[in-house]
Structure 1
């Protein structure tokens, strides 16, 4: 008599179409057990797949009998993997991509059957309907979601990694020149947010980092500033969060920032005194922020941007984004000969490649100047 397979070893049978079919009871994600089928053109091929199923089951790895659809996996990934571990701003950005593009375009596809062709056609169509930048972001979000599925061993490979991401056009950033920067600072000298503008230009602080700056992060005597938080508005609420990339940094404070910050502290003390003395008003809400409203609450990030562009427009300057002042700071530091690694630490870049983009731009300008010197020398020889 033929020996009987032990319990849990599964069975292999030959189908009417000539293929072989293996059936094994395996663990499901919900803790139950169900029969999983695998197929092969030969008995040996089918037996290899049977043994793989048994090995995963003995390791306690769930093997779904039917692959989940992307419309099922993506919401699960957002709620159970992204939300507990990533920042709220990151979650909101991922959630918008999933809701607006990924589920409508690929939601009916199953994880195991999603192919390179499916992803490539989806991205091409999305780029035509929207922009290359949107398609590139959708590629990044989907790749991250499927990487998590690979980590949970729901799929064996991430097909999105095999698809080249769209290439959006890069817009040249034109920060202010040194003359324009000095003209802006002169025009902003009497503004209530003058100290904030000085920090943006001389230290390259982000908008949220300026709004979220607190007095206990500043040491005026030793001229040091610790960037350990930022203030953002999400879902109609102002909240404090870690800096971008969770990169906390302590950097020296330029001497020209000390006087504006002392002036800001004196103005705030006067505002606190007035708000406390006004019994009919809301009073003063002490939160420790450097830049506040008349009642001590943090200012709106959007209002900082509006004040910046208003001053630039009134001064007759090119109106640039507040974030472009950060690029201007990087350009000035690099042109002054500061090594890229130091610029990276001052600005809090997550990767040296981001700093090198600015560095390369400045080096090209320096090369042009060097070549012009060569032209002048050769003309003299004639």
Structure 2
């Protein structure tokens, strides 16, 4: 059926085929309706595998090689073998629910979230490229997986013992361990910490200023957690950019580190605080 003409005067023709005349007409009506509504016409032969492989190739820009390898492994082992042959336009909520349910005895809750996320992001990518009309994966609930490994979180007594040992270590390791345990910053964020991001509240100027400018004779201290040692230097997520107040023990550890660095190399304002020395 001719549905219009291009600016060059060429006909825009839509076709459909089926096992019977009625089936072909019904498909053609659906195509024409979508065209009139301004919707993209989903590709008949585009599969889940095509969508996942495209996302793995184009959707992970800026991620570390380790992260890309992890996503690829999960996709190759769990996503593509199970639902990869399914045509993307025919993928249903029931298909995804059954697939996730079949993995509950095999994978942990975290792994289930990972494989759901891989499929979800792949279909979203396909939607942006007009390969499919909607994302059924986004409508699915993630079931509980098998019980995961035993928690490796420290007990209060274990954390206290580690801090006691850290107090006897060199100033950089002492500050690294004490801040990691007491303020909730990720270790990858602390390794990227700059002295310009260690601040104190100056009572006279009523402002938060770097300790390199205002000194250590203040009551309140904080750090700006704005960087990390990840691939692009950013924190894990946008919401991870935050400011954290420092307890006195952390302040003393940072002060000792600062004094040691000044003795070793003079004024170091703006250089790394907890990163390894050059």
Taking structure 1 as the reference length, the TM-score comes to 0.53
> 5+ residue gaps in structure 1?
23-37, 40-45, 233-238, 274-285, 298-382
User: Contact between 2:42 and 2:132, CA under 8 Å: does it hold in 1?
Assistant: no
Return the offset for 1:254: 2.4
2:155 to 160, 164, 176: 176
Matching residue of 1:55? 36
Given the superposition, is the C-alpha separation of residues 11 and 150 from structure 1 closer, same or farther in structure 2, using an over 3 Å criterion?
Answer: closer
Q: Aligned equivalents of 1:292 and 1:18: distance in 2?
A: 72
2:92 is equivalent to residue 115 of structure 1: yes
Q: Which residue in the other structure is 1:264 paired with? A: 257
User: SS where residue 24 of structure 2 aligns?
Assistant: strand
Change (3 A) 1:143 1:257: same
Please name the residue that 2:132 is paired with: 155
Cα distance between partner residues in 1 of 2:17 and 2:73? 48
SS in 1 for 2:56: helix
Measure how far apart 1:218 and its partner are. 1.3
Correspondence 1:161-240 to 2 at 5 A: 161-168=138-145, 169=147, 175-177=154-156, 181-192=159-170, 193-219=173-199, 220=211, 221=215, 223-232=221-230, 239=231
Match of 2:22 among 19, 38, 56: 19
Shift of 1:16: 7.7
User: 1:94 Cα deviation (Å)?
Assistant: 3.2
Aligned to 1:213, the other structure's residue is in SS state coil
Q: 1:120 to 1:20 in 2, by over 3 A?
A: closer
- Mapping 1:348-363, distance limit 5 Å: none
Structure 2, unmatched stretches of 5+, are 6-10, 200-210
Between stretches 239-248 and 198-207, larger displacement belongs to 239-248
Aligned-partner Cα distance in 2 for 1:189–1:261: 12
Q: Judging changes above 3 Å, is the alpha-carbon distance between structure 1 residues 111 and 11 closer, same or farther for their aligned structure 2 residues?
A: closer
Equivalent residues in 2 for 1:23-34 (5 A)?
Answer: none
Which residues in structure 2 correspond to 1:328-347 (within 5 Å)? none
Larger radius of gyration: 1
Pairing 1:139–2:122 present: no
1 CA distance for matches of 2:22 and 2:33?
18
The corresponding residue for 1:79 is 57
Higher helix share: 1
User: 1:53 and 1:189 mapped to 2: Cα distance?
Assistant: 69
Which consecutive aligned stretches of 4+ in structure 1 deviate over 6 angstroms post-superposition?
Answer: 11-16
Contact 1:127–1:134 (Cα < 8 Å) also in 2: no
1:142-168 deviations in Å (ceiling 9; x for gaps): 122223333444223323234331213
**TM-score, length of structure 2 as denominator length:** 0.70
CA contact (8 A) 1:136 1:167 kept: no
Could you say which structure has the greater relative contact order, defined with CA pairs below 8 angstroms and 6 or more residues apart? 2
Corresponding residue of 2:205: none
Deviation at 1:20, TM superposition (A): 4.8
Pairwise CA distance, 1:176: 3.0
- How many residue pairs end up in the alignment? 246
Aligned to 1:347: none
Q: Is the CA contact 1:9–1:54 (under 8 Å) kept in the aligned structure 2?
A: no
